[in-house]
């Protein structure tokens, strides 16, 4: 499981992503379900000063599609995907903490993934990339921290897939994190979530432009990605939000093509889907999506309770949202209960957000105090 | 609104569908949103004896995809889509009632729809079929009853789209029904349901084999229909049912194609989707699906309450299911409340079924007594 590291080097920032740094982990990275990667690169960003004793680190994992650019910084003033949560005086307070956000292994924003060149063949991995698991994402982040000289973090934090990665990190590297902050995540995926993601993947694979994964670099199944994103939005938001927001409002610019856009909710989905297309590599999407299906913390011991016996967390926060249909609240409760049973001081926080699974990205009035108060008390 | 009928004729039963009869309504059928159809045919089946005073008729509307073959009969012993609900001694008791089930206008099981030949052009209507509404389905059924000499029914009954059709029937033809039985239906579609159906339609339209609706008769977008059916199943069933039924069980025959079937829930969706393909005309699907989006009882008066003032129902039963995400329970409650406010003696019955929207087809232990007791007391 533990990657076999030999040496490492940090590359300078890349043009266009000025705050991003890329760490090279030469040698062999053994994958959780078999196979290996060579010369893995992991992209990351940091905010705040690292304390001399390295005792102020927060490790932040992302959801399926974001990059490591979680927030702006002097080096890169463009807003990040968690801009309101990370910065001076914000919940992930960079006046106090040194925050490290890692682009997941298998993603496409600087970390090694299916679109990366396989050093053995000189061509993109495509479907030659080995099966990716959440454990691999966690292990790559751990290797990155070690390479940066950080052996232990105050808290490992993540939402959605990021929460699974954070939990895998705590399971694989007991003692490497003192506190777990799991937002809108779970110990495993339930069949409804698997079904949604399975159909998303099928929409991508059904697009002829996917070409069995061998599309030209930077190109790919745009229609499949657009359709998959629409389905994604249905699982990320909530029916009650849309009822309040759109009702039966008709679209301003009703299309005149047969069965085209007629209602505002259709127009919204179309614009959200179009904005996503081209910004994310299709094969990375497939691998990361399947990794979420495959994750099951219980496999680290036979049952969740047995698996959790290895945890050396001091405290945990488990927060989720009652309108989440992808990671439903009963899964948050089950995770919190299992942590508590293990003897970890656990806070369970069900939030009344209306925006479903995506609430951690948009319902800042609830998530800011939830996370901020918790981290402030550390 | 009211179809301009001139004469009519009943055709003999068709081979392969021995209990089905087809009524021809020669002349012009004016569509609710404009346009007209000529020489409309409506397929229907009946069960039980018509009382001499015609006072024992139940009119049954179907959901989106069933035919008029709701149950077996001596003429056609194959099981129908509501076999457990309709027959001697069953909730729709054919020892007492004369039940008429109508294949919706726009469908493809004997009633005029997009796959029918346009008598003007001699070719299939395809997208030349005018915009279809739930009101048109109700009006075609009403015309069918009139042609059969039935001016008034004891109850008009329907689930899902069928419930909308039943409500439209009661709104358009006050006094033509004494009782409304609405199951898992609503006065209108909310944006989440519109979004699901919109993406289903897009999956069908995105299949090149759709050819803008001009596919060869009996052929069509099989892949698009298969994918649309998978999405449909996600909205028809419930996450809690699948959790109990599948959990994280792996598929017996895991596919070895990349990102193929791995979990049992994926295998289930695939088999359900394949069973659907080829059995339903794609253009009919598009028209009926959009008709559900478009329906809004409030349009018959400005608000639902004003619209309902025209109703001449004596009683109503409104039943729905707490796990239904397509026609959620709050919509059942709102429908029941509005009927009650109008002065109609209304029974509201929330059912604890686990199978979501489809429960009216499968959770017979709850739906049989719910409907049976109600109709027995008429």
pLDDT of A292-326, one tens digit each?
Answer: 999 999 999 999 999 999 999 999 999 999 999 99
Segment A100-118 shows an average pLDDT of 97
Interface contact flag, A258 B213, Cβ < 8 Å: yes
Interface contact flag, B242 A192, Cβ < 8 Å: yes
Taking 50 as the threshold, does the pLDDT of residue A4 lie above it? Answer: no
Cα-to-chain-centroid distance, residue A135: 13
> Which residues does chain A have within 8 Å of residue B259's beta carbon, measured at their own beta carbons?
201, 205, 286, 290
The partner residue sitting opposite A205, judged by closest CB among B192, B245, B259, is B259
Best residue of A126, A201, A229, A248 to probe chain B, by most B CBs closer than 10 Å: A248
Interface contact flag, A262 B189, Cβ < 8 Å: no
Interface contact flag, B242 A213, Cβ < 8 Å: no
Nearest residue to B82 (alpha-carbon basis) of B162, B172, B14, B153? B162
Q: How many CB pairs under 8 A join A and B?
A: 133
Catalytic residue set of A? 160, 324, 357
**Integer angstrom CA distances of residue B57 from B53, B148, B151, B178:** 10, 11, 10, 10
> Which residues does chain A have within 8 Å of residue B242's beta carbon, measured at their own beta carbons?
190-192, 195
Q: Scanning every residue of chain B, which has its alpha carbon at the shortest distance from the alpha carbon of A324?
A: B239
> Which residues does chain A have within 8 Å of residue B191's beta carbon, measured at their own beta carbons?
239, 242-243, 245-248, 263-265
Interface contact flag, A195 B247, Cβ < 8 Å: no
The partner residue sitting opposite A266, judged by closest CB among B194, B259, B266, is B194
pLDDT value of position A11: 58
Segment A3-31 shows an average pLDDT of 72
Confidence of residue B127 (pLDDT cuts 50, 70, 90): very high
Best residue of B208, B239, B257 to probe chain A, by most A CBs closer than 10 Å: B239
> Which residues does chain A have within 8 Å of residue B277's beta carbon, measured at their own beta carbons?
none
Interface contact flag, A194 B325, Cβ < 8 Å: no
SS3 breakdown of chain B: % helix, strand, coil, rounded to 5? Answer: 35, 20, 40
Interface contact flag, B234 A196, Cβ < 8 Å: yes
- Tokens 């699948």 appear where? B242
The partner residue sitting opposite A227, judged by closest CB among B194, B203, B233, is B203
As a whole number, the mean pLDDT across chain A is 95
Look at residue B161 and give its three-state secondary structure: helix
> Which residues does chain A have within 8 Å of residue B238's beta carbon, measured at their own beta carbons?
192
Q: Percent of chain B, pLDDT > 70?
A: 95
Interface contact flag, B242 A325, Cβ < 8 Å: no
Confidence of residue A142 (pLDDT cuts 50, 70, 90): very high
**DSSP notation for B227-256:** HHHHHHHHHHS-HHHHHHHTTTPBPTT---
- Tokens 């309504």 appear where? B25
> Which residues does chain B have within 8 Å of residue A230's beta carbon, measured at their own beta carbons?
195, 199, 202
The partner residue sitting opposite B199, judged by closest CB among A195, A201, A230, is A230
Sorted by where each starts, the structural domains of chain A and their CATH numbers stand as 4-190+296-376 (3.40.50.1820), 193-287 (1.10.1740.110)
Confidence of residue B125 (pLDDT cuts 50, 70, 90): very high
**DSSP notation for B92-133:** EETTT-EEEEEPPTTSSSSS--TTSBPTTTSSB-GGGSPPP-
Do residues A316 and A182 lie in contact, with contact meaning Cβ atoms separated by under 8 Å? yes
Q: Percent of chain A, pLDDT > 70?
A: 95
Contacts of B209 (CB under 8 A, 6+ apart): B215, B219, B220, B221, B222, B223, B224
Segment B302-325 shows an average pLDDT of 98
Cα-to-chain-centroid distance, residue A62: 3
Taking 70 as the threshold, does the pLDDT of residue B150 lie above it? Answer: yes
- Tokens 């409650």 appear where? B333
pLDDT value of position B16: 66
The 10s digit of each residue's pLDDT in A56-66 is: 999 999 999 99
- Tokens 């016996």 appear where? A309
Interface contact flag, A202 B230, Cβ < 8 Å: yes
Enclosing H/E stretch for B41: strand B36-47
Q: Percent of chain B, pLDDT > 90?
A: 92
Confidence of residue A131 (pLDDT cuts 50, 70, 90): very high
Taking 70 as the threshold, does the pLDDT of residue A15 lie above it? Answer: no
**Integer angstrom CA distances of residue B123 from B136, B208, B246:** 22, 21, 46
pLDDT value of position B4: 43
Contacts of A159 (CB under 8 A, 6+ apart): A63, A182, A183, A184, A185, A360, A361
| B10-17 CB contacts, 8 Å cutoff, 24+ apart | B10/B147, B11/B41, B13/B75, B14/B110, B17/B43, B17/B67, B17/B69, B17/B76, B17/B109, B17/B110
Catalytic residue set of B? 160, 324, 357
The 10s digit of each residue's pLDDT in B42-93 is: 999 999 999 999 999 999 999 999 999 999 999 999 999 999 999 999 999 9
The partner residue sitting opposite A266, judged by closest CB among B195, B233, B294, is B195
Taking 50 as the threshold, does the pLDDT of residue A5 lie above it? Answer: no
CA B284 to chain A, closest CA, distance in angstroms equals 12
C-alpha to C-alpha distance for A234 and A272, rounded to whole angstroms: 11
Taking 80 as the threshold, does the pLDDT of residue A264 lie above it? Answer: yes
The 10s digit of each residue's pLDDT in B227-279 is: 999 999 999 999 999 999 999 999 986 566 789 999 999 999 999 999 999 99
The partner residue sitting opposite B206, judged by closest CB among A196, A205, A223, is A223
Interface contact flag, B191 A239, Cβ < 8 Å: yes
Segment A36-51 shows an average pLDDT of 97
Segment A85-102 shows an average pLDDT of 98
Taking 60 as the threshold, does the pLDDT of residue B215 lie above it? Answer: yes
pLDDT value of position B252: 85
Interface contact flag, B192 A243, Cβ < 8 Å: yes
The partner residue sitting opposite B239, judged by closest CB among A190, A212, A263, is A190
pLDDT value of position A216: 93
As a whole number, the mean pLDDT across chain B is 95
Q: Scanning every residue of chain A, which has its alpha carbon at the shortest distance from the alpha carbon of B201?
A: A259
pTM recorded for the entire structure: 0.95
Interface contact flag, A199 B227, Cβ < 8 Å: yes
pLDDT value of position A84: 98
CA A342 to chain B, closest CA, distance in angstroms equals 23
pLDDT value of position B15: 56
Q: Scanning every residue of chain A, which has its alpha carbon at the shortest distance from the alpha carbon of B245?
A: A191
Taking 50 as the threshold, does the pLDDT of residue A2 lie above it? Answer: no
CA B265 to chain A, closest CA, distance in angstroms equals 6
> Which residues does chain B have within 8 Å of residue A293's beta carbon, measured at their own beta carbons?
262-263
Segment B3-9 shows an average pLDDT of 45
pLDDT value of position B6: 42
Interface contact flag, A201 B259, Cβ < 8 Å: yes
pLDDT value of position B18: 86
Do residues A160 and A184 lie in contact, with contact meaning Cβ atoms separated by under 8 Å? yes
Tokens read off for B136: 């048109």
């Amino acid at each position: 499981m533990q990657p076999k590291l030999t040496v490492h080097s940090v590359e300078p920032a890349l043009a266009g992503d000025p705050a991003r740094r890329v760490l090279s982990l030469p040698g062999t990275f053994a994958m959780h379900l078999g196979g290996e990667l060579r010369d893995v690169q992991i992209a990351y960003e940091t905010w705040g000063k690292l304390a001399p004793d390295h005792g102020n680190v927060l490790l932040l994992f992302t959801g399926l599609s974001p990059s490591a650019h979680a927030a702006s910084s002097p080096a890169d003033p463009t807003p990040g995907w968690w801009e309101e949560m990370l910065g001076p005086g914000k919940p992930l307070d960079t006046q106090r903490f040194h925050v490290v956000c890692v682009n997941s292994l298998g993603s496409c924003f600087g970390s090694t993934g299916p679109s990366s060149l396989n050093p053995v063949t000189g061509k993109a991995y495509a479907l030659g990339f080995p099966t990716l698991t959440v454990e691999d994402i966690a292990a790559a982040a751990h290797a990155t921290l070690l390479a940066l000289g950080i052996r232990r973090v105050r808290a490992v934090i993540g939402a959605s897939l990021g929460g699974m990665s954070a939990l895998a990190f705590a399971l694989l590297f007991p003692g490497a994190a003192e506190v777990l902050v799991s937002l809108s995540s779970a110990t495993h995926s339930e069949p409804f979530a698997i079904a949604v993601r399975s159909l998303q993947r099928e929409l991508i694979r059904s697009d002829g432009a996917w070409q069995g994964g061998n599309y030209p670099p930077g190109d790919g199944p745009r229609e499949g990605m657009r359709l998959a994103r629409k389905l994604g939005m249905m699982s990320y938001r909530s029916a009650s939000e849309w009822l309040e927001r759109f009702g039966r409002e008709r679209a301003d610019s009703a299309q005149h093509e047969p069965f085209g856009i007629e209602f505002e909710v259709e127009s919204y989905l179309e614009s959200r889907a179009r904005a996503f297309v081209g910004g994310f590599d299709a094969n990375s999407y497939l691998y990361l999506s399947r990794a979420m299906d495959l994750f099951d913390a219980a496999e680290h011991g036979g049952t969740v309770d047995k698996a959790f016996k290895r945890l050396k967390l001091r405290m945990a926060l488990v927060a989720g949202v009652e309108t989440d249909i992808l990671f439903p609240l009963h899964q948050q409760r089950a995770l919190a209960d299992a942590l508590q049973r293990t003897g970890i001081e656990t806070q369970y926080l069900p939030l009344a957000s209306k925006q479903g699974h995506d609430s951690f990205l948009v319902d800042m009035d609830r998530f800011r105090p939830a996370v901020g108060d918790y981290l402030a008390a550390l």
